[in-house]
Amino acid sequence: MKKITSFSAVVTAFIILLHTFTVSAAGGSLSASTGIKIGENTEITFSLSAPEPMYAYEFYIRFDSTALELVSCSSAYGIKDGRIYIADSSGGATETAGTVTFKALKAGNTSVYLEDCSFVDLDLNTEPLSGKDISVCVHTGVIGDANFDGALNILDALRLKKYICGISSDINISGADINGDGSINSADLVAMQKSMIE
Ligand SMILES: [Ca+2]
Ligand SMILES: [Ca+2]
């Protein structure tokens, strides 16, 4: 009979050019910096964590191919059912399972998913691992462009108001953080309105 325990998968993303996102499993958190611009590359490293040594592991990486283009993958992989399939042998309980580089194709918030994860333990039992996703913000480089359309106007102020009020979470984080203090709030709205009338 299989031993059922709880497992976790940890996804850690390192975005080149000082763009860093981190996702952890249960009890973890997500932090995002300024995001990336269209045409820039995003390097994401996937790590697996299990309560016992892994004989082997496998998982899929799913992404929106209209927003991100696969550039390279450092680990043994293939494309299967439209997803990146990664499988390898391993001897540890914690493994860096691969690094995938994507090129940003269009502005907006998009997600990369690590899913259908499992590993084979030293008794050759296959055990599940929980998946995780990470959010990537591709911005236009226009300061104050909260809605990703490449311009600054009243539509950005409306998008920012909705975000501050908790009505919508769809926002260009780096564009909306006009004063660059790392958070988005009413101070950014004031600064945005000021910049539009100058
Ligand atoms: Ca805009
Ligand atoms: Ca701010």
Domain ranges of the chain: 8-139, 154-197
> What distance in angstroms lies between residue 7's CA and the mean position of ligand 2's atoms?
37
Question: Which residues, listed in sequence order, are joined to residue 129 by a DSSP beta bridge?
Answer: 117
8-61 pLDDT tens trace: 443 333 333 333 333 333 222 222 334 688 888 888 888 888 888 889 988 888
> What distance in angstroms lies between residue 9's CA and the mean position of ligand 1's atoms?
36
Task: Please report which ligand is nearest the Cα atom of 163.
Answer: 2
Token pair for residue 141? 């480089």
> What distance in angstroms lies between residue 18's CA and the mean position of ligand 2's atoms?
19
> What distance in angstroms lies between residue 39's CA and the mean position of ligand 2's atoms?
25
Residue 35: predicted pLDDT? 66
| Residue numbers in the chain where pLDDT is lower than 50 | 1-34
On whether the CB atoms of residues 78 and 85 are closer than 8 A, the answer is yes
Distance of CA 12 to the CA centre of its chain: 9
> What distance in angstroms lies between residue 54's CA and the mean position of ligand 2's atoms?
44
> What distance in angstroms lies between residue 10's CA and the mean position of ligand 1's atoms?
34
Instruction: Compute the distance between CA of residue 125 and CA of residue 55 in angstroms, rounded to an integer.
Output: 9
Residue 163: predicted pLDDT? 95
| Rg, the chain, Cα only | 19
Question: Which residues, listed in sequence order, are joined to residue 158 by a DSSP beta bridge?
Answer: none
Does the domain at 8-139 match CATH 3.90.700.10? Answer given as: no
